Amino acid sequence: MFIVDNYILAIIFCFITMLCWGSWANTQKLSSEKWPFQLFYWDYSFGILFTTFFFAFTLGSFGDNGRGFLEDFYQADIANLRSAFIGGIIFNFANLLLVIAIEIAGMAIAFPIGIGIALVLGVFTNYISQPEGNPYVLFSGVTLIAIAILFDGLAYNKTLKNTKDNPLKGIFISLIAGIAMGFFYKFVASSMSVDFLIPQAGKLTPYTALVVFSIGIIVSNFIFNTINMYFPLKGEKVSFVDYLKLGSLKLHMIGIFGGIIWGVGMSLNILASDQAGPAIAYGLGQGATLVAAIWGVFIWKEFKDLPYESRWLIPMMFILFFLGIGFIIAAKLI
């Protein structure tokens, strides 16, 4: 199977993760006027499943390193399969809640709270499980990114429009989403062998862990997203009949493409964790907030109504993001 064998390649993969995780939501934005998010989310989940299986039967099955996907799956301990599966469930729960919170309270509240908590908790929990890198440098980088996210939230807050929804509900859902999002990666990482080149017996290779993770997303979707469809916290009720009747081929493909984008990012991030360590890989991946901010500022013009006296928040946010990412990269070099 293909493995990442050096730190530089691992960092490159983490940057690609940032681009993917920060960009997939554009596909939802493109289809949002004609396609409810609950229905889009099914196609998005199928896209993730397709991506992980594609990698498992290609990069995860060829070559002399490690164990092939099918061989690895059949030798895996139930406890490790269960851990990766639980990671998928937790991620799906968190991701759906985060999007609902954005629908209710707007990006100004939901995104900085949710992703900010996820980044801090995720780096901390993954570092405790598998400490790699200088902790002072690593957590200095996390702190800088957390401050950047606060600046992002302040900037959004300046442009926030009045809403008929109760913003406190959105804040509460964002908190839950952020806490859950901070823990999913740990379950996936703990299911895998520490050494990808010579995998431990009973542990999973990254390709097997990713497949089981994506199955956890699909299975839990029948609970979480079904509830979201028939008892929505935001928007109109939709049904499985609507999924079959309302969706054009183009709309379905947009959703699947969104899942492929996120799935590629997750796959490369997990592969990078062998050389970078789970804490650094996850921390860099969640720098996707920077990518999302770039989309918002320069493409979707979400800050066009920002008062002139508050526009300094935008360059300050980007500076702190870049500094924080630099510290995280340096954590394993110092």
Question: Domain ranges in the chain?
Answer: 7-330
3-state secondary structure of 21: helix
Residue 200 is encoded by which pair of tokens? 């431990």
For 309, counting Cβ atoms within 10 Å of its Cβ (0-12 exposed, 13-18 middle, 19+ buried), the class is exposed
CA-CA-CA-CA dihedral for 225, 227, 230, 231, to nearest 10:
-120
- Give the pLDDT band of residue 162 (cuts 50, 70, 90): very low
Q: What is the pTM of this model?
A: 0.91
Between the alpha carbon of residue 294 and those of residues 114, 186, 281, the distances in Å are: 18, 28, 21
- Average predicted confidence (pLDDT) for the chain: 90
Burial per residue of 196-232, b for 16 or more beta-carbon CB atoms within 10 angstroms, e otherwise: beebeeebbbbbbbbbbbbbbbbebbeebbeebbeeb
pLDDT, tens only, 21-69: 989 888 888 888 788 989 999 999 999 999 999 999 999 999 889 999 9
CA-CA-CA-CA dihedral for 54, 58, 60, 65, to nearest 10:
-170
pLDDT, tens only, 202-234: 999 999 999 999 999 999 999 999 999 999 988
Max mean pLDDT range (150-154, 226-230, 304-308): 226-230
